[in-house]
């Protein structure tokens, strides 16, 4: 089999992942897109298959991390060399930036057609439904812990043995089934737990496209919300770190120093996030959608909460004779009646 650099594989895999994943968001959110107004499941499963195909492209060469949190988690578990982590992270970040650039080009006329700046940013990076540093960071930690812990367990039973003619054949199905399992895992996590932050679960997936949002000449793009950017970077790293360390404890019954260090990092990050809620800038809740970006869901919500203002106009009921047709008909009858009487 032809081999390529693992760093190039991580770059290409992350590029594929972010092109499809961010593209799924653009399809649903950008105005005048054929998929505009579709639901959260489209985005979730779009990202799920994006991860699957990115891993398929890179798994034989690099392991298919595509995510700094996965690289850190595997290193904490002992399956990956810590010395390779910085190179993998750089490759993943560059791949995410390149993928976001392709999405920008693909939807070039739709940026001007979309008025809401928050929606434009949401195509590239995560925007929380309710901006609360503590709960947002906690959600990302929980989700990425589940991602890395489950990813390490996936594949343990993918090596069945078949006996044929007295000969045992050991099949390694990791290359076939593991990427698909990763993809479904991401989709399920986004559907089940991603309603609060939109789920980055991946520092490169959020930071790379956010950088591109800041650099690209997007029409009326607004701010890149850098005040929130540390949450989808550090919280997934901590969650992935914990996932790898605790999987070592669970699967191999080996207590390592990484369990203590990762737990301390989580406590420190959540403590800072709690402090940040009262000391750092927080954007208004993001559930408010401008009138120009109204959808059926927001229209239904507006109708349900509508409060009448002013007096209700009263429409007088007009008789048949008061209508234009009725008055003309009545006048013609009046003209005919005298002539009939004269005969």
3-class SS string, 160-213: CEEEECCEEEECCCHHHHHHHHHHHHHHHHHHHHCCCCCCCCCHHHHHHHHHHH
Residue 72 structure tokens: 């850190």
3-state helix, strand, coil in the chain (%, to 5): 65, 0, 30
Give the pLDDT score at 287: 44
Amino acid 315: pLDDT: 53
> CA end-to-end span of the chain, whole Å?
112
pLDDT band, residue 333 (cuts 50/70/90): low
Mean per-residue pLDDT over the chain, rounded: 86
CA–CA separation, 184 and 52 (whole Å):
8
pLDDT digits over 52-89, tens only?
999 999 998 999 999 999 999 999 999 999 999 999 99
The pTM of this model reads 0.80
**Mean pLDDT calculated for residue range 221-242:** 97
Question: Which of 20-34, 40-54, 186-200, 323-337 shows the lowest mean pLDDT across its residues?
Answer: 323-337
Average pLDDT over residues 16-40: 95
Residue 173: per-residue pLDDT = 65
Per-residue pLDDT tens for 146-177? 999 998 887 555 555 666 666 766 666 666 78
Instruction: Quickly list H helices, 194-289.
Output: 203-215, 231-252, 257-279
Asked whether residue 242 carries a pLDDT value surpassing 60, the answer given is yes
The DSSP secondary-structure symbol of 287 reads T
pLDDT (mean) for 93-118: 97
């Amino acid at each position: 089999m032809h081999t390529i650099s693992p760093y190039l594989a991580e770059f290409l895999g992350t590029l594929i992942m972010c092109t499809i994943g961010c593209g799924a968001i653009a399809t649903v959110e950008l105005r005048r897109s054929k998929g505009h107004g579709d639901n959260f499941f489209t985005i979730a499963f779009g990202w799920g298959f994006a991860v699957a195909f990115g891993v398929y492209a890179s798994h034989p060469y690099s392991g298919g991390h595509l995510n700094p949190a996965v690289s850190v988690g595997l290193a904490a578990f002992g399956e990956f060399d810590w010395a390779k982590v910085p190179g993998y992270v750089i490759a993943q970040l560059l791949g995410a930036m390149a993928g976001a650039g392709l999405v920008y080009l693909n939807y070039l006329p739709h940026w001007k057609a979309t008025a809401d700046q928050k929606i434009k940013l949401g195509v590239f990076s995560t925007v929380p439904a309710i901006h609360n540093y503590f709960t947002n960071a906690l959600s990302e930690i929980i989700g990425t812990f589940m991602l890395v812990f489950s990813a390490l367990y996936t594949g343990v039973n993918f090596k069945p043995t078949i006996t044929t003619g007295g000969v045992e054949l050991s099949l390694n199905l990791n290359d076939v089934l593991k990427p698909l399992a990763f993809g479904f895992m991401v989709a399920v996590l986004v559907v089940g737990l991603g309603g609060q932050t939109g789920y980055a679960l991946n520092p490169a997936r959020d930071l790379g496209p956010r950088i591109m949002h800041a650099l690209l000449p997007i029409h009326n793009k607004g701010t890149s919300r850098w005040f929130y950017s540390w949450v989808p970077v550090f919280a997934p790293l901590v969650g992935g770190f914990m996932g790898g360390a605790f999987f070592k404890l669970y699967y191999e019954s080996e207590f390592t120093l990484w369990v203590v260090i990762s737990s301390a990092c989580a406590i420190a990050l959540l403590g800072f996030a709690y402090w940040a809620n009262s000391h750092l800038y927080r954007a208004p809740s993001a559930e408010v959608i401008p009138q120009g970006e109204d959808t059926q869901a927001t229209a239904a919500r507006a109708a349900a909460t509508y409060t009448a203002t002013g007096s209700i106009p009263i429409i007088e009921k007009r008789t048949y004779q008061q209508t234009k047709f009725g008055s003309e008909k009545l006048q013609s009858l009046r003209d005919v009646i005298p002539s009939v009487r004269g005969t």
